[in-house]
């Protein structure tokens, strides 16, 4: 597979030095380890990507990605032979592997790295993680903006946000070189151990925190669930320093905030993680039990919500829908074809629901909004949403990094894809100024036709989709008028019924 030779004009001493540096790579970047990670990534992308892409394309682009480490590296492919150059100097040729052979292409990329290592001080000074980043970023560059690589550290943070982590449910703020406890969850292990807001953290497991970064101290506090951690804290109000013991528990970031006001329950959802469904279910159940018939309806505020877990979004929509289609997905891989149906129970017992969207509401937020709108179960208020109608598959790699691959499209119950289009509100407040107490109340005579066109415009008709999108331009702000309109809809059954019937779209602020 490989063809190589000594470059013309090299002295023997130069060749010896290059051989020494070639030996260095074998210990710094072990071949088996590097090749296994690259092969795993190449295979996952080629198998699962929404767009057809060969391992050959991924391998070649990955090789070219090494130029982001050292611009002197270039790759020239001619008639099945890959030439590796450093500047104007040829240093190695590689015979192309079979186009589908991920392991052989991973080995070929490793051979290219090995070839340039003696020539490039930048490559010689780098580490394995930087190599993976350069190769995978380049390999994914021709797919879409949502397909990306995350190294082990970044991937760990992603998993923590999705699934939670072992911790104490407290947050710190660094002030000069000291660490102030600025929040302690009353149901968390830190509070149970005696830590209070305003305390100063001095030591973790007998290790002083002073001199460390906030990230490092947070890492000290994290660990496996049900492991013990010893904290030394100082309470400034008393000047007393004490040692406390806490047991780490699964910590999942809060995503839901509830507020009840005069018959209306407002639920703000920041994103969709493993805790979102249970939090929403509990808040709705509590409101129904506490307020009974006085609870007139619900405002689901998804403005600024970037998305999250697909199945949690489906389950959230299911809280409000009694049976029938919620969403379906369709891609190239057989496993990407899924249909999600609602169960027969509506937790709200048919109470009015209004969903707030803006231009930053994306993905999982759009799943919920599209499902509730198409099933005539909610009125959507605000501006057109972001328009991310694709699903990403996350593949964990042997180095604990992960590759996120776009692998299917989302299809709303009425059959349209909102990718690049968004969900169109029934009540559009886009463009209404914050300082206006009352905006125009303009009924669109072609509202029904507009909604039909929204749901039937072709996925490849970019101009048509763009033009429709401008009928309610995406607006990233969170307007007070959105909430005012939502309350009016919830509390006025006739007005609510008018818009859930989907016969008219309107620009309404009253």
Catalytic residues: 363, 374, 388
Tokens found for residue 444: 């669109």
Residue 445, C-beta contacts closer than 8 angstroms, at least 6 positions apart = none
Count Cα neighbours of 2 within 13 Å in the Cβ-side half-sphere. Answer: 15
Beta strands per DSSP E along 199-270: 200-204, 207-208, 228-235, 240-247, 249-251, 256-261, 264-269
Question: DSSP labels for 299-341?
Answer: EEE-TT---B-HHHHHHHHHTT--SEEEEEEEESSGGG-EEEE
Tokens found for residue 144: 């879409």
**Alpha-carbon separation of residue 288 from 269, 297, 351, 472 (angstroms):** 19, 10, 10, 34
Residue 410, strand partner residues: 329
Beta strands per DSSP E along 79-177: 81-86, 89-95, 148-150, 165-167, 170-175
How far is Cα 69 from Cα 123, in angstroms, rounded to an integer? 6
Long-range contacts of 412-416 (CB under 8 A, 24+ apart): 412/327, 412/370, 412/371, 412/374, 412/455, 413/324, 413/325, 413/326, 413/327, 413/370, 413/371, 413/374, 413/375, 414/374, 414/455, 415/455, 416/454, 416/455, 416/456, 416/457
| CB distance 421 to 441 below 8 Å | no
Helix, strand, coil shares of the chain, percent, nearest 5, are 35, 25, 35
**Coil, strand or helix: which one is 226?**
coil
Beta strands per DSSP E along 51-169: 73-78, 81-86, 89-95, 148-150, 165-167
Residue 242, strand partner residues: 233
**Alpha-carbon separation of residue 199 from 119, 189, 231, 249, 473 (angstroms):** 54, 15, 11, 21, 47
Calculate the CA dihedral of residues 277, 283, 287, 289 and round it to 10 degrees: 70
């Amino acid at each position: 597979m490989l063809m190589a030779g000594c470059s013309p004009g090299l002295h023997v001493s130069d060749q010896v030095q290059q051989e020494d540096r070639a030996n260095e790579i074998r210990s710094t970047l072990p071949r088996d380890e590097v090749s296994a990670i690259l092969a795993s990534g190449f295979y996952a992308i080629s198998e699962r990507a929404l767009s057809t892409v060969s391992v050959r394309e991924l391998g070649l682009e990955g090789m070219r990605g090494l130029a982001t480490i050292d611009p002197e590296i270039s790759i020239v492919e001619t008639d099945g032979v890959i030439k590796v150059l450093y500047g104007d100097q040829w240093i190695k040729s590689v015979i192309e592997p079979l186009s589908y052979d991920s392991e052989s292409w991973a080995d070929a990329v490793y051979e290219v790295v090995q070839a340039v290592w003696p020539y490039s001080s930048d490559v010689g000074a780098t580490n394995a993680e930087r190599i993976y980043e350069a190769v995978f970023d380049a390999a994914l560059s021709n797919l879409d903006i949502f397909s990306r690589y995350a190294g082990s550290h970044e991937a760990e943070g992603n998993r923590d946000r999705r699934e939670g982590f072992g911790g104490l449910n407290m947050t710190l703020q660094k002030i000069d070189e000291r660490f102030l406890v600025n929040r302690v969850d009353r149901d968390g292990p830190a509070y149970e151990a005696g830590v209070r807001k305003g305390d100063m953290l001095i030591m973790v497991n007998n290790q002083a925190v002073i001199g460390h970064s906030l990230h490092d101290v947070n890492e000290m506090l994290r660990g496996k669930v049900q492991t013990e951690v010893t904290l030394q804290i100082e309470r400034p109000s008393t000047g007393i320093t004490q040692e406390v013991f806490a047991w780490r528990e699964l910590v999942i970031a809060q995503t839901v905030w509830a507020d009840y006001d005069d018959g209306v329950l407002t639920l703000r959802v920041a994103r969709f993680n493993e805790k979102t469904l249970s939090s929403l279910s509990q808040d709705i159940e509590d409101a129904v039990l506490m307020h009974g018939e006085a609870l007139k309806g619900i405002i689901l505020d998804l403005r600024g919500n970037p998305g999250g877990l697909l199945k949690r979004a489906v389950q959230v929509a299911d809280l409000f829908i009694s049976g029938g289609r919620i969403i379906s997905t369709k891609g190239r891989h057989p496993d990407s074809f899924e249909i999600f149906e609602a169960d027969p129970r509506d937790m709200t017992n048919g109470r009015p629901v209004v969903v707030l969207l803006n231009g930053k509401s994306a993905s999982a937020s759009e799943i919920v909004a599209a499902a509730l709108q198409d099933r005539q179960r909610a009125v959507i208020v605000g501006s057109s949403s972001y328009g991310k109608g694709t699903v990403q598959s996350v593949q964990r790699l042997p180095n604990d990094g992960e590759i996120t691959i776009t692998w299917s499209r989302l299809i709303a119950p009425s059959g349209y894809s909102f990718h690049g289009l968004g969900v169109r509100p029934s009540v559009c407040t886009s463009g209404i100024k914050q300082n206006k107490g009352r905006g125009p109340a303009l009924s669109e005579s072609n509202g029904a036709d507009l909604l039909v066109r929204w749901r039937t415009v072709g996925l490849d008709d970019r101009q048509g989709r763009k033009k429709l999108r401008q009928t309610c331009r995406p607006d990233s702000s969170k307007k007070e008028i959105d909430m005012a309109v939502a309350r009016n809809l919830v509390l006025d059954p006739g007005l609510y019924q008018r818009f859930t019937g989907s016969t008219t779209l309107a620009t309404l602020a009253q």
